[in-house]
Amino acid sequence: MRIKSAFITLCSALLTFSILHSEPLKAQTNFKLPDLGTSALQALPIEKEQAIGEVMMMQIRGSSPVVSDPVLDEYLTTLGRRLVANANDVRFPFSFFWIDNPEINAFAFYGGHVGVHTGLIAQADNESQFASVLGHEIAHVTQRHLARRIQQQQDNSALTIAGMIAGILATVVAPDAGIAIISANQTQAAFSQLTHSRAAEQEADRIGMQTLNNAGFDPRQSSEFLTKLAAQIRYKYKPPAFLLTHPLPESRVSDVRLRAEQYPKKHFEDSLEFNLAKSRVIARYYQKSKAAEDLFRKLMRENTVHNTALKYGLGISLLDQKKLDEAANILEPLLKEDPKNLFYIDTHTDLLIAQGKAAEAVTYLAKLDVDRPNNQVITLNYANAAIEAEQYELAERILKSFLLAKPEHNLGKQLIASVYKKQENMASYHEANADVLAQYGAYLKAADEIQKALNFVEPEELVKQQRLKALLTQYRQLQKELARL
């Protein structure tokens, strides 16, 4: 499914400060935020760490190019859960998401949120290298390295702590921007809090390598990945983004290399899903479509390794250029060989819609949805095909059922808002749109949407009026908290 989602640009630092100091916000939302306005902060309990993580995730949705791609989400979540299942000291569920950024980078923050730049998988040599970075980030969370830093700030003011959180948020997503924020505030001490200490890096390297091995990946690739990054430092003035927050002294490379030698040499096959995900990222996020086409054709001429994934990438690049017949000749045989593969199901749906066969796509996906209900790839493609086929009531039913199972799914919320708009059900459209905006922290805009929704409610719909007025009060209260700062 190819959907371009608009995101709301917000001031991350301002909103973070407002939330951390907002008592009414605690009462108005599900967040039970800690009071960081004390210099006697001795500990950061798990539930408070999770709450801060949820707030930071909201900031990222509103200020960063988060990728809304169900197929890639499915792969990343499956891989991440495999690693988490083999990690120690896991205290809460993890969530994994993509950032559309060509830099080699990944980051983890409070509450088990792990962000991965598309550039990481595009430049990873194999799945074990890619998984090694995720395992490393999971270890930072399970060992509570960020939480420890807040505890170490107990003698500082609340503003310093809040500022540190805002700086971490900026730095993990866009390291150069984060460093600029720190420099502008002349708080060099804070920079040491944004970069992981040598002890933390060593601990994450050690534990991450164990997790990698336990999950059935090649632990030696941790060493290979760091060696690759070290080589890039030698030939580039600007180091990879990952190294701006994960320092790489020579001693660390040596330590990881020696530790990797403790594991036996074995042959590890990359999963087909990894290679398909890598090709998809290159075709849709890392390269322009024509450049991706040229690259995949070149790679297919040069070798036969991962040829299936290369064909898939070539097919996507042709599809996105509207070269539909050429794309069909490549993509349809792949689906025929592996009809349950989610990557192929997704692109087959895109192809049918591009060919003007949306109704055929609905029939095709209806059968798959029976076998795998509420699978995000199949269900969201099914709903999107129904929208394209102008079967709006069907799309509404599909999405309502999906959102009952996954109420926080952002793309599902965006799709049902578009359905209501197509149906000219403007009250429901504006309410659904407000729900999407609230996920970004855009409370003023959400309140405006609720006010618009009220304008379309009939006088006799008293229950709906009361519910919308309660939402309006909530969003306005949240906005007042922002305006006070």
Name the residues annotated as catalytic.
Answer: 137, 205
The Cα 186–Cα 12 span in angstroms is: 19
Q: Identify which of 476, 481, 425 has the alpha carbon closest to the alpha carbon of residue 453.
A: 425
Judge contact between 63 and 9, C-beta under 8 A. yes
Coil, strand or helix at 318: helix
DSSP alpha helix (H) spans, 246-374: 250-260, 272-281, 289-302, 307-320, 324-337, 342-354, 358-371
Cβ neighbours of 258 (radius 10 Å):
10
DSSP annotation of 264 reads P
Which residue type occupies 439?
Q
Pure H helices in 21-126: 23-28, 46-63, 70-85, 118-123
Contact 351, 328 (CB under 8 A): yes
Whole-angstrom distance, CA of residue 49 vs CA of residue 280: 34
Sheet containing 106-109, strands listed edge to edge, beginning at the edge strand earlier in sequence: 95-99, 113-117, 106-109
Which of 79, 114, 132 minimizes the C-alpha distance to 276?
Answer: 79
Residues 406-439 as b/e (b if ≥16 CB within 10 A, e otherwise) read eeebbbbbbbbbbbbbeeebebbbbbbbbbbbbb
Residue 375 Cα distances to 343, 365, 391, 479, angstroms = 13, 11, 20, 35
Sign for the CA dihedral angle at 410, 411, 412, 413 comes to positive
Strand partners, 66: 99
Q: What is the SS3 assignment for 311? A: helix
Residue with tokens 């990359």: 270
Q: In whole angstroms, what is the distance from residue 70 CA to residue 376 CA? A: 6
DSSP string spanning 174-203? Answer: -HHHHHHHHHHTT-HHHHHHHSPPHHHHHH
96 phi and psi angles, rounded to 5 deg: -125, 140
